[in-house]
Structure 1
Amino acid sequence: MKKLRNALMLAGGLAIALFASSANGQARADALGWKLGAQAWTFNRFTLAEALDKMDSCGIQYVEAFPGQVIGGGIEGKFDYHMSADKQEQVKSLFKKKHKVLVAFGVVVPDSEADWRVLFDFANRMGIQSITSEPQAEYLDLISSLCDKYNIKLAIHDHPKPSHYWHPDSVLAAIKGRSKLMGACADIGHWVRSGLDPVECLRKLDGHIVSLHFKDLNEKSHDAHDVIWGTGVSQMGKVMEVLKAQKFKGLFSAEYEYHWDNNVPEVKASAAYWKQMVSNL
């Protein structure tokens, strides 16, 4: 009985310590203006409703949705910027019911001026703060004007080379002379896949980072796969230190593209790592 009581006391103490660490991390994140979210693509084998539940189990509140995910939760259809006004209201109710905040949407690349206008109108109606995209050059001036009109940010994403935006220089060229609401969605894992140093890339983009797709990889190669944050080669600690020094404020989207059928334990461990690191900054 005494051993059992001691074990329970130890477990209780550990639980309190973990709770305190998480609380400290959240308070520090709020002070820094950092939001821990998840790109719903992490859970693309599931409906959006199921993905929101999985995020909840990982201690993640903020959401970056992607186009084409089956909505679920009793709502027909897929999440897309062409959803009807009624469907948009249903989805907003789903987020409210699940206690999640939709803050970003992408990667989405409209191929006409009319569709870009539809996308920004949709984002405005849904309360989306930033759109993640890899826009064609001919629409950059239009996008700039739409960003200013709606006060919505455009985050240019970097898929690995030969993607046009694989290098920070291409992002800087695209936003030069345009809206201050245009910047980078820094996918640090894809930079590693392209043979780039994520710390140096962030330094090059200083002041122009809208959001991040946060990834730690097992190796420096195009074929690398995700691992729990802090256990790979993406220099997560240094990345966070640089972002703090740059006074970055915004979204860290966990995008875990491995063990698709059940990556919740790894995402949960990564979120815990992030909160612990934040509490020490």
Structure 2
Amino acid sequence: MRSDISRDLTRRELLAAGLAAAGAFALHSRVNAAPSAAEGPYGPFKMGLQSYSLRGYMANGKPDVKKALAITKDLGLHHWEAYPAHIPMTASSDEIARYKKLTEAEGVAVIGYGVIPFTKDHEANRKFFEFAKAMDFGYLSADPSLDSFDSLDKLVEEYGVGVGIHNHGPGHHYALIDTIAKVIKDHHPKIGCCIDTGHFLRSNEDPVRAAEVFGKRIYGVHLKDVKEHKDAKDVTERMKFTVLGHGDLRTADLLKVLAGLDYQYCLALEYEENVLNPVEDLRACLETVREAVGTLKKS
């Protein structure tokens, strides 16, 4: 998943945006409330989508946020980690209020956002946190440069917004569990990992171990599956994204670890295949999640 964010923000504008949207906060808080194991088919989790899964639905040459929200509602989901092309970062109080109204009308709480390319530019980084605070995001999934962490230490402390390093897969500098763990070890506890299960599998890493290693420093989970085809002649064909439950992810084991951690951020299904019409595949993925949650209730 990629991010394309270019608009500027100021503290004054974002404070104005927060005031303009204040009337919508009560509904947002109710939607955002953490469910208990008895409340529904997804047990203790804030089950939702990384809205990148619905990037193929377009309107006027851009990803259609209204269509994506309507599909999310139809799937019975109430949480998003938003893809920036669906909710572009903006300083406009009117735009922020409009996006809040759109999401809340469909009963969807946007509780995460990304993936954000942080750098050493502290004031540029601050703008993302100002936006996150105005929109009431709990965390930002991120691809931070190695020289950005001094800035991020200050910003997560100031704003109370978590940062989860997103592992992008083979060859990326954050491909491996131990690499991320080493990078964050001496930094603020609000800096951790956004676990992308599919990309960890593609990197021959175990997502269940990732959950055990990062523990309370998990800020976001991108739930997707990969199947290894050992007989593939082309290395690019060896590890393929697939419907959840059809690949190598130990979904029930992962959810057991997350439940034990009382994980409270978005459990975001992210499906990268069948871009133009992913809905039936998403339904199949969600059935796998419900089955896995069912095993938690029995244990």
Instruction: Give the TM-score band, short-chain normalised.
Output: 0.7 to 0.9
What is the DSSP-based 3-state SS (H/G/I as helix, E as strand, rest coil) of the residue aligned with 1:266?
helix
Determine which of 76, 96, 108 is the counterpart of 1:59. 76
Unmatched 5+ residue regions in structure 2?
1-35, 58-63, 230-234
**Conserved in 2, the CA contact under 8 Å of 1:25 and 1:276?**
no
**Conserved in 2, the CA contact under 8 Å of 1:41 and 1:66?**
yes
Q: Could you tell me which residue of structure 2 aligns to residue 261 of structure 1?
A: 276
What is the DSSP-based 3-state SS (H/G/I as helix, E as strand, rest coil) of the residue aligned with 1:106?
strand
Q: Could you tell me which residue of structure 2 aligns to residue 239 of structure 1?
A: 254
Deviation larger for 226-235 or 148-157: 226-235
Cα shift at 1:83: 4.2
Q: Could you tell me which residue of structure 1 aligns to residue 126 of structure 2?
A: 117
Cα shift at 1:93: 1.0
Larger Rg: 1
Cα shift at 1:25: 6.6
Cα shift at 1:256: 0.2
Letter aligned with residue 168 of structure 1:
I
Q: Does 1:90 align with 2:107?
A: no
What is the DSSP-based 3-state SS (H/G/I as helix, E as strand, rest coil) of the residue aligned with 2:154?
helix
**Conserved in 2, the CA contact under 8 Å of 1:81 and 1:118?**
no
Q: Does 1:174 align with 2:183?
A: yes
Q: Could you tell me which residue of structure 2 aligns to residue 136 of structure 1?
A: 145
Letter aligned with residue 40 of structure 1:
S
Q: Could you tell me which residue of structure 2 aligns to residue 68 of structure 1?
A: 85
Separation in 1, partners of 2:106, 2:199: 30
Determine which of 28, 51, 54 is the counterpart of 1:43. 54
Letter aligned with residue 93 of structure 2:
A
Cα shift at 1:244: 2.8
What is the DSSP-based 3-state SS (H/G/I as helix, E as strand, rest coil) of the residue aligned with 2:169?
coil
Letter aligned with residue 73 of structure 2:
D
Q: Could you tell me which residue of structure 1 aligns to residue 31 of structure 2?
A: none
Separation in 1, partners of 2:254, 2:99: 34
Cα shift at 1:48: 1.3
The change in CA–CA distance for 1:54 and 1:29 in structure 2 (over 3 A counts) is closer
Cα shift at 1:94: 0.8
What is the DSSP-based 3-state SS (H/G/I as helix, E as strand, rest coil) of the residue aligned with 2:47?
strand
TM-score (norm 2): 0.77
**Conserved in 2, the CA contact under 8 Å of 1:191 and 1:197?**
yes
Q: Does 1:251 align with 2:262?
A: no
Identity among equivalent positions (%) equals 24
Q: Could you tell me which residue of structure 2 aligns to residue 154 of structure 1?
A: 163
Letter aligned with residue 241 of structure 2:
D
Cα shift at 1:24: 7.0
Separation in 1, partners of 2:106, 2:41: 24
Separation in 1, partners of 2:270, 2:210: 19
Letter aligned with residue 101 of structure 2:
S
Q: Could you tell me which residue of structure 1 aligns to residue 285 of structure 2?
A: 270
Separation in 1, partners of 2:247, 2:276: 21
Separation in 1, partners of 2:226, 2:194: 18
The change in CA–CA distance for 1:67 and 1:24 in structure 2 (over 3 A counts) is closer
What is the DSSP-based 3-state SS (H/G/I as helix, E as strand, rest coil) of the residue aligned with 1:45?
coil
Letter aligned with residue 93 of structure 1:
K
Letter aligned with residue 157 of structure 1:
H
Q: Does 1:218 align with 2:227?
A: yes
Unmatched 5+ residue regions in structure 1?
1-22, 70-78
Aligned residues: 248
Q: 1:79-114 CA distances to partner (integer Å, 9 max, x unpaired)? A: 322342221111111111121101000011144322
TM-score (norm 1): 0.81
Letter aligned with residue 62 of structure 1:
H
